[in-house]
Amino acid sequence: MRKHLILLAALISVTGIAAPTSNTSAINIVRHNKLVTVTGKITDAGTGNPLVGATVGTAGKGLAQTDANGKYSVIVDNNATLVFTDIGYVSQAIKLKPGQTTLNISLVADSRSLSEVVIRGYVKRNRDETTGSSYIVTGKEVQNNPVGNVEQLLQGKVAGLNVQSNAGAPGMRGTVNIRGVSAPGNYAYNSPSPGTESYGHINENQFVDPKATPLSTFAVDVDAASYANVRRFINAGQLPPKNAVRIEEMINYFKYNLPEPTSGEPVAIQTEVAAAPWNPQHQLVRIGLKAKNVKLDKLPPSNLVFLIDVSGSMDMPNKLPLVKTSMKMLVDQLRPIDNVAIVVYAGEVGVRLESTPASDKQKIKDVIDQLGAGGGTAGGAGIMMAYDIARKNFIKKGNNRIILATDGDFNVGPASNKDMKELIEDERGSGVSLSILGFGMGNYKDSKMELMADKGHGNYAYIDNITEATKSMVTEFGGTLFTVAKDVKLQVEFNPGKVQAYRLLGYEDRLMAKEDFNNDTKLGGDMGVGHTVTALYEIIPVGVNDNFTGSVDPLKYQQPNHLEEKVYNGTELMTIKFRYKQPDGDKSKMESVVVKDKSLSEGNTSNDFRFAAAVAEYGMLLRDSQFKQESKIEQVITMAKKAKGDDDNGYRAEFIRLAESTRDMMKTALVTAAK
């Protein structure tokens, strides 16, 4: 019997490029033994302009590149010598002083002739942003030429060119630097976000007439990767691609104060109804699910396989180094009854550590420390190997899980989304779960990783900084690793006597046919220890004029509606049914709850209702949704501030700051467009 590999989202990310801050002297210091975070800014000594894409590292190894404001952040030994380089400038090497955590550098233009070509894209620049030692190629010359054709384009202008693509980070300009014979094959390409990142297309849910389609059915989703990824874009000074914004994952990033199950069942449900903030004539229904909490010593033993991408694309400060730090933090959370194996893949696949008791933490950490990056990306072969190892060490009634840490950029062997879907579906009955931890930027393959997690009975997190790693691997450790209810599905029936039209916000890729609700062979979503899930429906009440629903002529041949008059015109708004299975079960159990047509005033709604509504409104604005109606970023900020409530970990306060940054970027975009 084939198994699923457990996905342990245990990546603690240490950002390689610092997000722009309003106070350049503000330094966040994170110390781990002899490691220190050093931040600063690199500028042109002659002009004072920030240098974008300059490299910061140690001897022979680049660790980070500067962002759109010339800022950088690296984690190094506290006695390291940092090397600062940029094409056309004289390199500098500076040894850190004891306790030094900030280092600003001005690089001097190199007067020597360089065998380099700088290709400028479509961003307007001043003459002093380039050096006289570069050959300048205009945007028109490369307009329809992929980077691979640049050698042919420049033939006879610069000898010995060898081009190799390496996508850059959000906020970087459209610049290609190609080095010639003095450094064959050394090539840096900083593309505007999202570079070669890929996101699945989202067709937003429409308003639906309950007379024609009375049932709405979907699988729950506890993933939160979209929020962390969106945050990465905003902190880099850019609005995210629309398809990177999955509203349900934005909402479910946050925990909500829901009552735990009291009847011995693994999941409890709660509902709330009030006016929609972006259209007071509409109603907003919040459905909240809460999974039971289980003490750590009561959880089953774990058979974990860490599947780590060590390909060349992971050789960046915000990728493999962060993965290694994160995995070691995860190891510290494990118990002596848990076991860990480590599988790595690049051009080939290998087992670096056979299944080892977590009591031998130092042995596991030593193997993680020895990992290095290079080569191709045989992700499909790595997944197959990880499933084999998980099956070999399968624990009956245990937590059998693969945790895949990757940027998702597979390029050797089975690599397409279709390949991954088929590979993981073959393992569906194995009892092994597959969880995904996403890292990096520029070449990030969100569409592939979301698909794998959904098909692999696992969760999916994006790790963009050390705080996010701590959230996934330490603070929410139980929910990340241990499932208490699997194949959770929701089916909502709307009363057409009260509901003229309804729309589910988000969950577009989790929709199911109505028949799938009662079919136990159809997968739902999984809920871990203490997890909460929130779903929002926007409802247009009967009698409200709207611009979203059309009309058709009366039908001749349909049966008349035999709905009981007392139900049709009664107090019921909708009925919610939800199904789930026990973690080791194959047969589902169903529960249901009736929601009354009783809309609360704003003052009587919970903080959780209003905060979730604020996040949903923010998501619609980022997507420029056709259903945003009267949504406003100021309303998002005001509502979130009033609904912040208890916020011990500061996640809600962070959202407010993120919305404020988005407001400022939107204002800048409007001013620019008006010029």
Q: What is the pLDDT of residues 261-288, one digit of tens each?
A: 988 889 999 999 999 999 999 999 999 9
317 vs 442: CA distance, rounded Å = 13
- pLDDT at residue 662 is higher than 70: yes
Q: What is the structure's pLDDT at 394?
A: 96
- pLDDT at residue 656 is higher than 90: yes
- Token digits of residue 110: 């190199």
- pLDDT at residue 482 is higher than 50: yes
**Torsion 405-408-411-417 (CA) sign:** positive
- Token digits of residue 280: 């007071």
User: Of 528, 10, 480, 525, which Cα lies nearest the Cα of 294?
Assistant: 528
Q: What is the structure's pLDDT at 240?
A: 92
Split at pLDDT 50, 70, 90, the class of 424 is confident
- pLDDT at residue 38 is higher than 70: yes
Q: β-strand 339-345 against 302-309: which pairing, if any?
A: parallel
Q: Which helix (H) or strand (E) element contains residue 629? A: none
Q: What is the structure's pLDDT at 337?
A: 96
Overall average pLDDT of the 185-214 stretch: 71
Q: What pLDDT, in 10s, does the model give residues 210-254?
A: 999 999 999 998 888 999 999 999 998 889 999 999 999 999 999
Residue-wise DSSP of 269-281: EEEEEEEETTEEE
Q: Which helix (H) or strand (E) element contains residue 1? A: none
Split at pLDDT 50, 70, 90, the class of 50 is confident
% of the chain surpassing 70 pLDDT = 78
| CB-CB contact of 466 with 321 (8 Å) | no
Q: How far, in whole angstroms, is CA 48 from its chain's centroid?
A: 35
Higher pLDDT, residue 126 or 587: 587
Q: What is the structure's pLDDT at 623?
A: 95
- Token digits of residue 253: 């990033």
Identify the CATH class of 296-481.
alpha beta
Q: What is the structure's pLDDT at 343?
A: 95
| CB-CB contact of 520 with 586 (8 Å) | yes
50 vs 175: CA distance, rounded Å = 15
| CB-CB contact of 487 with 580 (8 Å) | yes
Q: In what order do the strands lie in the sheet with 267-276?
A: 267-276, 279-291, 532-541, 499-504
Whole-prediction pTM value?
0.71
Q: What is the structure's pLDDT at 562?
A: 56
Mean pLDDT across the chain, nearest whole number?
A: 79
Overall average pLDDT of the 21-38 stretch: 47
| CB-CB contact of 217 with 490 (8 Å) | yes
Split at pLDDT 50, 70, 90, the class of 65 is confident
- pLDDT at residue 133 is higher than 80: no
Alpha-carbon dihedral of residues 614, 219, 439, 192, nearest 10 degrees? -60
DSSP state, 471? I
608 vs 534: CA distance, rounded Å = 10
Q: Which helix (H) or strand (E) element contains residue 34? A: none
Query: Which bin fits 195, alpha (ψ -120 to 50), beta or left (φ > 0)?
Result: left
Overall average pLDDT of the 361-367 stretch: 95
Overall average pLDDT of the 549-578 stretch: 75
- pLDDT at residue 178 is higher than 60: no
Higher pLDDT, residue 26 or 79: 79
Higher pLDDT, residue 227 or 196: 227
User: Of 259, 282, 283, 287, which Cα lies nearest the Cα of 271?
Assistant: 287
Cα separations in angstroms, 51 against 109, 239, 323, 451: 11, 22, 28, 38
Q: What is the structure's pLDDT at 417?
A: 65
Query: Which bin fits 442, alpha (ψ -120 to 50), beta or left (φ > 0)?
Result: left
Higher pLDDT, residue 583 or 132: 583
Higher pLDDT, residue 576 or 125: 576
621 vs 401: CA distance, rounded Å = 37
Which ranges in the chain are annotated with CATH 3.40.50.410? Answer: 296-481
As to burial, measured by CB atoms within 10 angstroms (0-12 exposed, 13-18 middle, 19+ buried), residue 7 is: buried
| CB-CB contact of 204 with 245 (8 Å) | no
Q: What is the structure's pLDDT at 652?
A: 96
- Regarding the domain delimited by 35-107, which CATH topology (the fold level of the hierarchy) does it fall under? Immunoglobulin-like (2.60.40)
| CB-CB contact of 489 with 510 (8 Å) | no
Q: β-strand 302-309 against 399-406: which pairing, if any?
A: parallel
Split at pLDDT 50, 70, 90, the class of 334 is very high
Query: Which bin fits 652, alpha (ψ -120 to 50), beta or left (φ > 0)?
Result: alpha
